[in-house]
Structure 1
Amino acid sequence: MTRVLIVEDEIIIARFIELQLKAHFNCQTAIAISAAEALAAMPKLLPHLLLCDINLEESCTGIQLVRQLQRQYTFEVIYISSYNDKNIIEEAIQSDASNYIIKPVDEMQLYAGVRLIMEKLARKNTPDTPVAAAALNPAEQRIVQLISLRKSTKEIAEIMFLSPYTVKNQRHKICRKLGLKDENNALLKWALENGEKLM
């Protein structure tokens, strides 16, 4: 089931989006009405998709929030905004946005905007792709890919321009995120089975 986090400070709009998503898609949803609520919701929900308002009526814009979250998590993002300025749209695209929906949002506009992304996510998150992998940020996914290629900690450090100590710490962190024990080559085994799906 696809997990969706709706980041929208106008609760009526957020509820409308949630109702439409549940009516048309098999998904689990949560609503965050501020950047702080979104930050708190991420580790609990580990969403595959964010629907994020750009103007959050606070010091942090939706685009800034998404960039911050992308340092730790992997997800698709659709911006929903009343801004129809080309510069804002370009900035959104630079943050790897999958789509951009201009308010006011109607049912068909929302369906069309989300449908293509849901199809992409359905292919990416097939039953044999572990949901836990969504918890890994891009750097951690890259480390797992290199482990699957049987690269040593030293080799990974050289490839990623990191210190071996940093890579070692990252390996421990990845094990915790994936619920693996730090022994018996558990991470290597997981990487060999799943690393290709992250490429």
Structure 2
Amino acid sequence: MTQVLIVEDEFIIAKFIEKQIKNHFQCETAIAITVAEAVAEMERLKPDLLLCDINLGAGYSGIDLVNQLQQSYRFEVIYITSYNSKDIIEDAISSGAANYIIKPVDEMQLFAGMRLAISKIKSKKAHNSAAAALTPSEQRIVSLIGMRKSTNEIAELMHLSRYTIKNQRHKICVKLGLKDENNALLKWVLEQRELK
């Protein structure tokens, strides 16, 4: 189940967003009206997705809050705001926004933004659980592949035969559900970097 934190200083809007989410998705939700509540809920809920207003009142910026929270937590973020300035949108993108929805919140815009973000979250979780099944030796091989080392170079670095490395690469592909192609592992590693 996806954990969602709604950070919105207008309670009625926050409840509307929460209702729309619960109508369309299986999610555990929480609402934070203030920055202090948002920080406390992050610790309690550890959400996968943050829906965050940019103007949080009292001079607080949702973008600044997200940047602060990203130092301690991993999550996707969708900004929901009345700001439609190109500079603010660029700042939101720089903070890693999965989407940007301009108020007033439209049910289908929210559905589309949520659907894309949840799909990305599920993909990350699937990749992370597959990667966790790798042995330390397999993880080292994957790391070296990420450095664009060839099978021969990996064999030399690990003091193993190239045939052992080829067999290990095959086993890793099986564990990760990849086709056993020349660049399958490299493509997977590059995708992992993009998902982080």
TM-score after normalising by structure 1: 0.65
Secondary structure at the aligned position of 2:126 is classed as: coil
**Structure 2 counterparts to residues 1-199 of structure 1, below 5 A:** 1-126=1-126, 129=129, 149=140
Cα deviation digits, residues 54-93 of structure 1 (max 9, x gap) = 0001232000000000000000000000000101001111
CA distance in 2, matches of 1:117, 1:9: 22
Distance 1:37 1:198 in 2: 32
Post-superposition Cα deviations, 1:115-147, rounded to whole Å, max 9, x if no partner, equal: 1111111222239739xx9xxxxxxxxxxx9xx
Distance in 2, Cα, partners of 1:128 & 1:149: 16
Letter in 1 for 2:2: T
Amino acid at match of 1:89: I
Tell me, in whole angstroms, the C-alpha distance in 1 between the residues paired with 2:13 and 2:129. 33
- The structure-2 alpha-carbon separation of the partners of 1:89 and 1:128, relative to structure 1 and needing over 3 Å to count, comes to closer
Where structure 1 has 5 or more consecutive residues not aligned to the other structure, the ranges are: 134-144, 151-192
Residues in 1 aligned to 2:43 and 2:7: alpha-carbon distance in whole angstroms: 15
Q: How far apart in 1 are the matches of 2:129 and 2:43?
A: 19
- Please give the TM-score of this superposition, normalised by the length of structure 2: 0.66
Q: Which runs of 5+ in 2 are unaligned?
A: 142-174, 176-188
| Percent of paired sites with the same residue | 60
One-letter amino acid matched to 1:100: Y
Q: Secondary structure at the match of 1:126?
A: helix
Aligned length: 141
Shift of 1:149: 3.5
Q: CA RMSD in A?
A: 2.6
